[in-house]
Structure 1
Amino acid sequence: MISMHHPGTAAALRDLSQFRHAFHQCLTARADALFELTDSALCADGPVTSLVELSLATEHRRGHGSLYDGLNQGRIDIGRFRNVIARQQIPRGHDGRIMLGIDVSHWLRPDANTSPDRLFCHTYARGKGQAQMIPGWPYSFVAALEPGRTSWTAMLDVLRVRPSDDHTDLAATQLRTVVDALITAGHWREGDPEIWIIGDSGYDGPRLAFLLADLPVHVLVRMRSDRVLAFPVPPRRPGTRGRSARHGTRFAFADPATWSTPTHTTTTDTARYGAAHARSWDRLHPTLTRTGAWTGHHGPLPIIEGTVIRLQVERLPGTGTPKPLWLWHSATATTAAQVDRLWQAFLRRFDLEHTFRFFKQTLGWTTPRIRTPEAADRWTWLVIVAYTQLRLARPLVEDLRRPWERKAVTPDRLSPARVRRGFRRVRPAAALPAGAPKFSRPGPGRPAGSRNARRAPLHAPGKTPKTDING
């Protein structure tokens, strides 16, 4: 049953059906098995706790063998599917701007010694100072962020971080692919506001801005509170000898004595954080050295200027005295109104945490014990496909709320879990491109009493150092 109270029901059902057809066409091997596996994850009763249990769902008409065969031997045309994702409706800010959030989430595999390409993933445990490094597969996600407080994002792309990848360089390559797809799909045209790319302190914001300088984007990242930047060099006095300086006076985040008069100072009253005080300084840049990512840079090191914002809120829910938040924005000459929009946009990055939690706890993204990273990549894309269908079905489902849950004000305010609860009623009205299963006989399997003579190789987790091919 589909709710007909929403005015865009027919258009939403058409968009959902077109997306399902397009996704099925992107499956180039084991298409029907992968498609029905996605539907079973969408329509299963309760959270996905076991991959093989999905074969028992009504929507999965094949056996459990085809489920694993689809993940291990199936194929997805990722390049084509990226364009399908980019053609969907993209959320925008109040000024019509697209905001892209980028972050890494980990699929922990501590005991999978036969699985290659594992890295040590930084995870947080309960209690202060209880962080751990656990082997697993890190995945880099890019999503379009909605303007208000919500648990929804529009997931656009995912890449697995390999042992030889540089964190920021991989992010730049991934973001370039996403931005090009959005431009090709017509979501950004000449004269539109620049796209904001929002990331946490794990990304080198100045380098990211340098690598994406030819695209219509601005970078907004959080910086650690121990960073030291520099102001521009003051005008050279007449008659001064010697080489010109490249950096002006230092600006240490942890030393207020080095701070000059802020370019802008704003105060905003918020319901969640109390009074939010923001101060900004214009044209600050890092002092780069030929180490790390800049080792092989040809020519003089660039001066990458931006705006630094210091945000201090009155309170944080569930914590003590909040620490200030330092942000770096790749644009200069920002106005006071833009400063307020920037720190508020950065807070929307935390909506990705809701998406990751829904992936893991409800859709069972990290539940399967898959051996090969290629199969893990396919399952990750299937989870994104399922989540995208939930986003398209938001105007279609009825609110099947539990007695203890609050009634949603509008259908758009339903959480992803509550939309999934009603998706089984929407599915029969949407496109069903998967064909009926054909009769087949199971293989003979391994002879009784025999042992597996081909042991899987063991793989140690960790980064693969890059070597200088000219050395």
Structure 2
Amino acid sequence: MTKNETATSVEEFLVWRSNLFQGLKARKETIIELLDALSSNQQAHSVVELSLNPLFRRDYNSLYRGIQEFLPTQTDPNYEQRIETLFSAVSRTIPPTSKHYNLFGIDTTPCPRPFAETLADKTFIHYPNPIKGNKPINIGHCYSVVCALPDQIDTEKVPWAVPLSGERVPSKHKGVNQGNQQLKKIWQSSLFSDKLSALVADSDYSQKDFIGEQVKHEDVVTITRVRSDRVFYRQFIRDPNQAKTSGHPRWYGDKFDLKDDQTWTEPDEVHHVPFTTKKGRQLTVTISGWKQMLMRGTKNYKMNNHPFTLLQIVVRAQERNSIWKPMWLIVIGSRRDELSLVDCYHCYRQRYDMEHLFRFKIIDDILFNSRCTS
């Protein structure tokens, strides 16, 4: 790195640090020192051990108070400005993308706390259990996390996700509802309004009360997985020569049952993408797309006004046999045609980068502890 590049990097870092400092509500010096300790960490395996780092000049009590109090509250008169400043600081850590869209991911992750007797608002959570025969449940909190997913080319194909928002899901709420609130703040930010935004999520987010909120944002395309037992419909297109009849207009056409291939029509578009695994195995990904599909709506969400593209992903080996069950995706949003079927497939594959973030133990603890009292 040349001297000019070093000077530019240092200047950008100082601007980032200043924006972060201004966006914090309280315990500003504590949080800055905590970030310094985390960045230089080589030995700490828990949050409290970061207080032993030479760059953290306070005790462990200040560390936990800083985590719990640094975020601005909605009662703060400068709440919107502080949130915008924090988003500005975080956005500088996202590598610039060469694509014509920004990619985001949303998911929920469990935080088991079965032995925290005084922890408020504990509830039953889904948590994988390695012991055969045991139910995958535990007691604790669940957290909704929204991340920016940088280009894998810029990260040299290393899984990387930049967390933008992490909030605890109250026991009486659903993760999708909490996610709607988080995404609303992000979409309203001017930092991500210059490009099309693609949002990827798993099948839990394919329900109407999530998709129905996201389609309200014109510059957002949502890509979610759907269960293989869902039923959709072709959009009904009336013959222009047919005389209009009285009564309610028809919205839904032929039934499209994902588990019954007899109801499927010929796809509108098909792509074959070669793929090589890390072990050198040659695979072919077949992406079939059906456009102008509809799902049933509700009184609050008129889904007949929001057609989507349905994708079927089939992975085959050289012998042309399918090696996994087909995966179904829906792509919905007014600008969905700006993404090709191959783009949608690669976007969804990148969603799994968030799993590496959840496995980063210290980041998890900081994220969770910052919301334990909320």
- TM-score band (shorter)? 0.7 to 0.9
Q: What do the CA deviations read for 1:153-195 (whole angstroms, capped 9, x no partner)?
A: 22222222112323333222211211221xx23x433xx4x21
Provide closer, same or farther for how the CA distance between residues 21 and 162 of structure 1 changes in structure 2, counting only shifts above 3 A: same
Instruction: Map residues 429-444 of structure 1 onto 2, 5 A cutoff.
Output: none
Is the alpha carbon distance of 1:7 and 1:282 closer, same or farther for their aligned partners in structure 2, counting shifts above 3 Å?
farther
Instruction: Name the amino acid aligned to 1:64.
Output: Y
1:45 CA displacement: 2.2
- When residues 348 and 108 of structure 1 are mapped into structure 2, their CA distance, relative to the original with a 3 A threshold, is same
Matched, 1:174 2:178: no
Q: How far off is 1:309 after superposition?
A: 0.2
Contact 1:123 1:134 in 2 (8 A): yes
**Aligned-partner SS, 1:34:** helix
| One-letter amino acid matched to 2:167 | L
Q: How does 1:17-416 map to 2 (within 5 A)?
A: 17-46=14-43, 48-71=44-67, 74-77=69-72, 79=79, 80-86=82-88, 88-89=91-92, 90-91=94-95, 93-126=97-130, 132-148=136-152, 149-181=157-189, 184-185=190-191, 187-189=192-194, 192=195, 194-204=196-206, 206-212=208-214, 213-235=216-238, 237-238=242-243, 243-272=248-277, 274-289=283-298, 297=300, 302-314=304-316, 321-331=323-333, 338-358=340-360, 360=361, 363=362, 365-366=364-365, 373-374=372-373
CA contact (8 A) 1:92 1:98 kept: no
Identity %: 24
Where 1:366 maps in the other structure, the secondary structure is helix
Question: In structure 2, do the counterparts of structure 1 residues 163 and 225 end up closer, same or farther at CA, with 3 Å as the change threshold?
Answer: same
Question: Whose radius of gyration is greater, 1 or 2?
Answer: 1
Deviations 1:184-215 (A, max 9, x none): 23x433xx4x2111111110355434323244
**Which one has the bigger strand percentage?**
2
Cα RMSD (Å) of the superposition? 3.2
- Tell me, yes or no, if the aligned pair for 2:19 and 2:85 is still in contact at 8 Å: no
CA separation in 2, counterparts of 1:368 and 1:92?
A: 25
Going from structure 1 to structure 2, the CA distance change for 1:128 and 1:283 (only over 3 Å counts) comes to farther
TM-score computed with the length of structure 2 as normaliser:
0.81
Question: Matches of 1:129 and 1:256 in 2, distance apart?
Answer: 34
Structure 1 contact 268–277 (Cα < 8 Å) conserved: yes
Q: By how many angstroms is 1:127 displaced?
A: 7.1
Instruction: Give me the whole-angstrom Cα distance separating, in 2, the residues matched to 1:222 and 1:370.
Output: 30
Q: What is the identity, as a one-letter code, of the residue corresponding to 1:365?
A: D
Give 3-state SS (helix, strand or coil) of 1:86's partner.
Answer: helix
Inter-CA distance 210–255: structure 2 relative to 1 (3 Å threshold)? same
Whole-angstrom distance in 2 between the partners of 1:31 and 1:94: 34
C-alpha contact 2:205 2:211 (8 A) present in aligned 1: no
Question: What is the CA-CA distance between 1:225 and the residue it aligns to?
Answer: 0.9
In structure 2, runs of 5+ residues without a counterpart are 74-78
Matched-pair contact (CA < 8 Å) for 2:234–2:293? yes
In structure 2, relative to structure 1, the CA distance for the partners of 1:102 and 1:129 (3 Å cut) is: farther
Deviation at 1:220, TM superposition (A): 0.8
Alignment correspondent of 2:76: none
Q: Distance in 1 between matches of 2:62 and 2:337?
A: 58
TM-score for both structures, normalised by structure 1: 0.66
SS of 2:352 mapped into structure 1 = helix
| Whole-angstrom distance in 1 between the partners of 2:172 and 2:221 | 27
Contact 2:218–2:333 (CA under 8 A) maintained in structure 1: no
Distance 1:13 1:261, change over 3 A: same
Query: Measured at CA, do residues 337 and 60 of structure 1 come closer, stay the same or move farther in structure 2, by a change above 3 Å?
Result: closer
